[in-house]
Amino acid sequence: MGVLGLGYVGLPVVVAFSEAGFSTLGFDVSADVVDAISRGESHIGDVSARSVADVLAAGTLSVTTDFGRLTEVDVIIICVPTPLSKTGDPDVSYIVRALDEIVSSLHPGQLVILESTTYPGTTRDLVQPRLESTGLVAGADFFLAFSPERVDPGNRQFQLKNTPKVVGGLTPACHGLAAAIYGKVIDTVVQVSSPEAAELTKILENTFRAVNIGLVNEMAVICDRLGIDIWEVIDAASTKPYGYMRFTPGPGLGGHCIPIDPHYLAWKMRTLQYRTRFIELAAEVNAEMPRYVVSRVAEALNGARKAVNGSRILLLGVSYKKDVGDTRESPALDIIAYLRAMGAEVSFHDPYVGKLSLDTDSLESTALTAEAVVRADAVVVTSDHSGVDYDLVLEHASIIIDPRNALSGRTGKARVYPIAGPARTSTHGVTDETPPAGVAISPV
């Protein structure tokens, strides 16, 4: 068993197969990553160092940068990144590089599975021809399938083993072999009729989330204009036992999946002269949420007769979601950029991120102390980590902007601005009749 790419997807996969007793080889282009794993360390929060150390000690896992060793494995799973290019088009260069390595060692009987999220048609139109350039025929000499990764960093309820695995093979034999392999480590395997169906399944899942998050983000802006508490509305709507699914607003979309994957489908459909209007509109709304949060910061400071220029802003959390250290596509990055462009002095505290690399420099996480909070002209809750001392923040901050609703049910001396609606101003949680006047930046 060989796994190409030992990141957020590949490391959990290779450890799971190793724990199941498979002799596994993990491949990565980064010598630092390989060396760290070889020492029994884990750079992925959902995989413990103990798990890595155990399979190394058992002899079921080896890791290497030597792709020539692909000749030693019967199954190859590709778990490499698939980002977007600067023009918003799919960047499949990592897949191509992986295929180049596989081509040089492909032999009869091997099963190749692509897990990297991509547009419908990638397996058949890109992967198959490159592998068949060896003279071997897919479905006869070797086997080919697509199985989308469904990793949700930080999810304690659903992990690799108990999250159903979708598999689409090029032929019935490809279906069967891929399903049998995954069935050794995953509780439920769902077979679909083709690689294209499996590819589109993953994109549908994340497009569904992106569109609904875009809807509730726009609803937050609407509630702000109407002076209504968006969280009260969401809680009330959630009491309906059918026909409604709870989504919550926030400072923007982050992570490597939801902000990225729908664009793969949009790009594919543009090649077929079709415009994916829902996807594009949701992306537009979600992309503007960091700017909207900054407008709330400006509004809050304006109410205290302060300007953003020269103000000290403390961000709580810079990862893209709660209780993880992943900053990929985090909306906090855009919020920092906007605030700095307006002349603010920005710092952050994040128990999961020690250092944040920016375009021109970097920031280190500051300790969350009463002094740090008092020094800040405004505090922004950009990630609602559960380990943060919010009571300390409420006690010592003067202004808090809380787009994550992390402070719901808590009281303190600070003036708290939710993502929409009036600020909470008293220690008893009483709200203003109207928010202070300010210039709002609409996300639509």
Asked if 71 contacts 184 with a C-beta cutoff of 8 angstroms, the reply is: no
The kind and range of the H/E element at 349 are strand 345-349
C-alpha distances (whole Å) from 86 to each of 89, 97, 335, 370, 389 are 7, 19, 20, 41, 38
Q: Which of 79, 174, 223, 257 is catalytic?
A: 257
DSSP per-residue letters across 387-401:
TS-HHHHHHH-SEEE
The kind and range of the H/E element at 290 are helix 277-303
Which residue, among 338, 301, 295, has the nearest Cα to 443 in the 3D structure? 295
User: Is 79 marked active-site?
Assistant: no
* Token output for 379: 């505090």
CA distance 417 to 304: 13
Burial class, 147, CB count within 10 angstroms (exposed 0-12 / middle 13-18 / buried 19+): buried
> In b/e form, how buried is each residue of 105-135, taking b as 16+ CB within 10 angstroms?
bbeeebbbbbbbbbbbebbbebbbebbbebe
Which residue, among 379, 369, 363, has the nearest Cα to 293 in the 3D structure? 379
CA distance 316 to 372: 12
Asked if 180 contacts 22 with a C-beta cutoff of 8 angstroms, the reply is: no
C-alpha distances (whole Å) from 174 to each of 131, 167, 201, 260, 364 are 15, 9, 18, 28, 48
Residues known to be catalytic: 257
